[in-house]
Structure 1
């Protein structure tokens, strides 16, 4: 999810990389039990920032009950329109100051807290939410189960993922990233005549000695549903993480596993130069504590050029192209109706619970 998005879901397959690794069916103690009866501040922090990140997304994140709320024991994360709150002209000429909303500097980039519209760079037209458990819950190794329903709507990008609590091995992706589930909310998005939208969900590990050397393609797996999609009902997104390997599952079916060889992820990636994980275990960088992130992004580099939706081409150019948010916003007559004009919760990411068990 961070910095370098997957431009395409590479394959949908059930593969193992490295040594043999079997999924452990025995669970230890329940160490995290989030039923979402309320927005528990002892477990979650709302991440507030307008920084567009390395993925050039179109939303800004805030702490507002329009965008994150509990209903019937389910966390809802959904979008709203900046123009509905500040007016259309504000997008083209305004300044959005998030400091008084509790803005956090994103990756030490302070300009994520104050945004001023200049030329092709308009104010982020979408409002959304990101919840993180950093400094409140972190863990290393265990079984994770998240029951969630993905949102339906063009250019929505929901994610259930984890990041390292400490960057022990260095900057992204050297200290790792765990993406339990990512998908695209578009119903009719096709690349080369294959659906790549809400019919598919993916799990991915990001790891490598630098952003230009990311071994994610060896640890990326997908599942495609036939005749239905991941927005139609709740599914179980699961991970088994041990000191020997990692397995991803959806609805108790193994999606993919990885257990690195003796030389660890360095050997698995076939990298050259200095090994940043030399002082870690063979599971490095996935031998440290990670925390949860739950968010709903919009647009950006996760959507590839050359793919078509039901009404035509993507309304902006990937990747990192100035004016992309402006082009997206000005094409809203096409995509906004797929969000049911924000009145229907079908466009919300819904999370019923998150449970983490220690290893038996």
Structure 2
């Protein structure tokens, strides 16, 4: 009985030891799992050799996840069903983008070729290089004195005095000023430029004006300047560059432009006009664009009511500034095949006109005018598609003021007159307290230099 009891106790001890051993193994396994979860780079227990952890642990620990195990996939052992099933439309996913790229490159090539073909680096002869170092030269430049408004109903009287056109510090100034108030406010006052011997026009309306209190008409309320090379240099095809700072001031209208020496094809606009630069002195808030915008255009047509300017009028906005803040070069390049204007560099073009078809067809003019009179083509008889821009032109620089031709749109930005009113000049004069102060600091167009070149092969070049 005692022996039996000893055997039972021994068995109990062995069972307890076995249970304790199992508990230790489970605890060790749990601790190992915790260690693996906190340190994923620890080598798992079942991947360690038996000699390190004991055969009993290795045999009794359940297999865990295996890390950093890879196998090589042999070629041909993985199924690729997509190779057995081909979509005939799938190839266009590649072909269409390639076709688009090829088409884009072709179009770019054609445009580059056409540009190189049409714009040529011509050879030129210098005609004028004016930097005002010798003052104002009356043999080259003419101060035009008129009161007729130059066809646009402008409000200024242009003078031949140093009050409005003068050279200072090596630069030419075209400065608008107020008219003598006595001439405007005295009924019956007459301004006769012909009698004074200074009128530059042969038309009576351009040389004589008066004040009539009864009907509200007055002598031009402003004086300004307009100079030209009409008696001096002119070109037929070539280049022009005018370096200037534009004026700042409400209702000012600066311009750099050209007219034909001889109106061979008839009165304006039959013989053409080239506007290299036009702008407005109003600031950038002006609805039509102030001194932050310039425009270029060509004028031609069978009569004033039918003018093709609208087909090639182009504007250019200054970048983060205005054209009144500093000097810019306003240029023209003109040949038999094309004409374009630019600012500062030939690469920054404003208006480009390629002479490819007769200008009468290009103007899209009606068959007859408003009176039913058939419109004639004044240019086709020459056989040249660039007519009327195939004759000598001279250069004009001026600062106009106001006008009744729509350059300043009625009812916009506080415009103090209406174009169709017979008292437009007087209405403008009465509002001088609002616009004249804006001219104080920068109301002049300042011209640093003027250069003209004649294309070789014309006019003796």
TM-score, length-scaled by structure 2: 0.67
> Are 2:239 and 2:334, in contact at CA under 8 Å, matched by a contact in 1?
yes
Q: Among residues 398, 411, 421, which one is paired with 1:295 in the alignment? A: 398
| Cα distance change on mapping 1:98 and 1:153 into 2, 3 Å | same
Q: Equivalent residues in 2 for 1:147-162 (5 A)? A: 147-162=243-258
* In the alignment, structure 1 residue 335 sits paired with structure 2 residue 435: yes
Structure 1 residues without counterparts, runs of 5 or longer:
1-15
- Deviation, 1:189, is 4.8
2:416 corresponds to? 315
- Structure 2 CA distance for aligned equivalents of residues 87 and 115 of structure 1: 10
1:50 corresponds to? 147
- Structure 2 CA distance for aligned equivalents of residues 39 and 190 of structure 1: 34
Greater shift after overlay, 52-61 or 42-51? 52-61
> Are 1:160 and 1:294, in contact at CA under 8 Å, matched by a contact in 2?
yes
> Are 2:184 and 2:218, in contact at CA under 8 Å, matched by a contact in 1?
no
2:191 corresponds to? 96
| Cα distance change on mapping 1:27 and 1:74 into 2, 3 Å | farther
Q: Secondary structure at 1:198's aligned position in 2?
A: coil
Q: Among residues 219, 230, 252, which one is paired with 1:123 in the alignment? A: 219
Q: Secondary structure at 2:180's aligned position in 1?
A: helix
Q: Equivalent residues in 2 for 1:209-248 (5 A)? A: 209-248=302-341
- Structure 2 CA distance for aligned equivalents of residues 316 and 270 of structure 1: 33
Q: Equivalent residues in 2 for 1:199-278 (5 A)? A: 199-252=292-345, 253-261=348-356, 263-271=357-365, 272=367, 273-278=375-380
Greater helix fraction, Structure 1 or Structure 2: 2
Greater strand fraction, Structure 1 or Structure 2: 1
How far does the alpha carbon of each residue in 1:53-93 deviate from its partner, in whole angstroms, 9 at most, with x for none?
Answer: 33111110111111000012211000111126x46634x54
How far does the alpha carbon of each residue in 1:92-131 deviate from its partner, in whole angstroms, 9 at most, with x for none?
Answer: 542112225433363x421322211113111111011111
- Structure 1 CA distance for aligned equivalents of residues 125 and 284 of structure 2: 42
- Structure 1 CA distance for aligned equivalents of residues 296 and 429 of structure 2: 29
Structure 2 residues without counterparts, runs of 5 or longer:
1-110, 368-374, 457-461
Q: Among residues 426, 443, 452, which one is paired with 1:326 in the alignment? A: 426
Q: Secondary structure at 2:381's aligned position in 1?
A: coil
Q: Among residues 186, 195, 198, which one is paired with 2:291 in the alignment? A: 198
2:156 corresponds to? 59
| Cα distance change on mapping 1:357 and 1:52 into 2, 3 Å | closer
TM-score, length-scaled by structure 1: 0.85
Aligned residue-pair number:
327
> Are 1:27 and 1:143, in contact at CA under 8 Å, matched by a contact in 2?
no
- Deviation, 1:196, is 1.0
- Structure 2 CA distance for aligned equivalents of residues 199 and 212 of structure 1: 29
| Cα distance change on mapping 1:143 and 1:24 into 2, 3 Å | farther
- Structure 2 CA distance for aligned equivalents of residues 50 and 251 of structure 1: 34
> Are 1:260 and 1:268, in contact at CA under 8 Å, matched by a contact in 2?
no
Q: Secondary structure at 1:237's aligned position in 2?
A: strand
Greater shift after overlay, 154-163 or 212-221? 212-221
> Are 1:63 and 1:101, in contact at CA under 8 Å, matched by a contact in 2?
no
Q: Among residues 238, 241, 247, which one is paired with 1:142 in the alignment? A: 238
The CA RMSD over aligned residues, in Å, is 2.0
Identify which of structures 1 and 2 has the higher relative contact order when contacts are C-alpha pairs closer than 8 Å and 6+ apart: 1
How far does the alpha carbon of each residue in 1:303-329 deviate from its partner, in whole angstroms, 9 at most, with x for none?
Answer: 111321xxxx2100024x210011111
